[in-house]
Amino acid sequence: MNKAFAEQFATDWIDSWNSHDLARVLSHYADDFEMSSPMIRQLVGEPSGILRGKAAVRAYWSKALELIPDLHFELISVLAGVTSVTLYYKGAHDRLAAEVFHFGAEDKVIRAFAHYDLST
């Protein structure tokens, strides 16, 4: 993972979400990627907190955008690993969040793990 790729990914990912353009957001992901988030349990009732594939995640994110129409992310920090990037940011209602993105072929996300501040 190099700094330029990590920073470009972070900027485009945040901008994509802030535009509320799900096609643009999903363009960062492989077709069969896996998403893990405690919010998946709450919004779609999936007990594992894991969804697989763009269709399932698109439905989840569409529902989230309907529930939070003013959703806006503010990037705080970008951290790089060997084949992963972690974004630390402020999300809905200024709640702190971190997402870890693991990359595969063609620099597409194959697994993503969302984490949220539990104190708010």
Full-prediction pTM beyond 0.85? Answer: yes
Q: Are 36 and 50 in contact (CB under 8 A)?
A: yes
Domains, the chain, ranges and CATH?
Answer: 3-116 (3.10.450.50)
Coil/strand/helix, residue 115 = strand
Burial of 13 (0-12, 13-18, 19+ CB in 10 A): buried
Average pLDDT, the chain: 94
When pLDDT is cut at 50, 70 and 90, the band that residue 120 belongs to is low
Q: 81-103: per-residue pLDDT in tens?
A: 999 999 999 988 888 999 999 99
